[in-house]
Amino acid sequence: MSTKGSQRTALITGVSGQDGSYLSELLLSKGYRVVGTHKSLVVKQNVHENTSLLNIAHLLTEKDFVLEYGDVLEPASLWKLVHQYKPVEIYNLAAQSHVNLSFKSSEITSEVNALGTLTLLNILLEAAPTARFFQSSSSDMYGDNPATVLNETSAFEPNTPYGCSKLFAHNMVKIYRNTYQLHASCGICFNHESPRRSDNFATQKIAKGVAAIKRGLQDKLMLGNLEIERDWGHARDYVEAMWLMLQQDKPGDYVIATGKSHPLKYFVEKVFHHAGLDMNKHVVVDPKLYRKYDKNKITGDPSKIRKELGWESKTSFDALASEMYENALKTLK
């Protein structure tokens, strides 16, 4: 299947995640046809029977949005889609992205994040060498690097299976770019959240927990270390950076971050404030939830992407907290 006229086609792996759904909306608004992959064999079933499709439920009726079966662990499925749709841009967002889970499932994390990316690079090389490729890299690759402000030249010292798998993929993209002159870029994404974030991430746990307390469905919120500081942005802003990277004449690697860090405690305070509740009456800090591999503070330096691409994060920390809480409250209704 060739593209319709001059319409560009983009292929997004892991389209049902928060990044994939926001990126799909952005590309559709720019006139793309979007082909998204989902690893369920029954991808067009009723969305209410498949909660993994909730983030893209509103896109399933869009004429230029196509949902197809595709799994980075099954190369044939991706080969077929690349040959069929001939995408000019490929965004690899498929990943096992939960850090804690990566310790328990290090093999599947490595297969999906590392070898899955290598599979896509080989498909790109053989079937679509002129297509532009985006790899979602992670700030977790910095790991034990003692610096608190990190940029594209900072040393990678991963201390988790997730970070290690992402670093393998990151380096393979650089190798294929330099060896085969592919237009392949990596976005080193710092923490980015949204109402579409999955429940096993701290920010969503907080937003939904406070909403449940507001509705009288629970009284306490169990949390770990509230003193860790992270550079939190909005996924909606970050996917714009991903798109901008593939519009450049030359590929490259960029830190995608706000440049500002906040303690997790501030996020908790913001959400409770929006709910009109006193966090001190509801939050219980459980030392068992502390993570030994966490650094106390991580901040990204977005100077390069700001200077070269003109991108910067638009959504404030307070607005992010408010949006996530309001969505959680609405969902409970």
For residues 43 and 67, the answer to whether their CB atoms sit within 8 Å is yes
**Is residue 36 over pLDDT 60?**
yes
The whole-number pLDDT of residue 1 equals 38
| Superfamily for the 202-230+261-297+316-332 domain | UDP-galactose 4-epimerase, domain 1 (3.90.25.10)
List beta partners, residue 92.
13, 135
**Above 80 in pLDDT, residue 3?**
no
Mean pLDDT to the nearest integer, 221-225: 94
Residue 42 clears pLDDT 80, i.e. is over it: no
pLDDT, tens digit, for every residue of 88-128?
999 999 998 888 888 888 999 999 999 999 999 999 999 99
According to the model, what pLDDT value does residue 326 have?
97
In the chain, which segments carry CATH 3.90.25.10?
Answer: 202-230+261-297+316-332
Q: What is the pLDDT of residue 51?
A: 72
Task: Check residue 293 and give its pLDDT.
Answer: 75
Q: Which CATH architecture has domain 9-193+233-256?
A: 3-Layer(aba) Sandwich (3.40)
- The per-residue pLDDT of the chain, averaged, comes to 93
* Confidence (pTM): 0.94
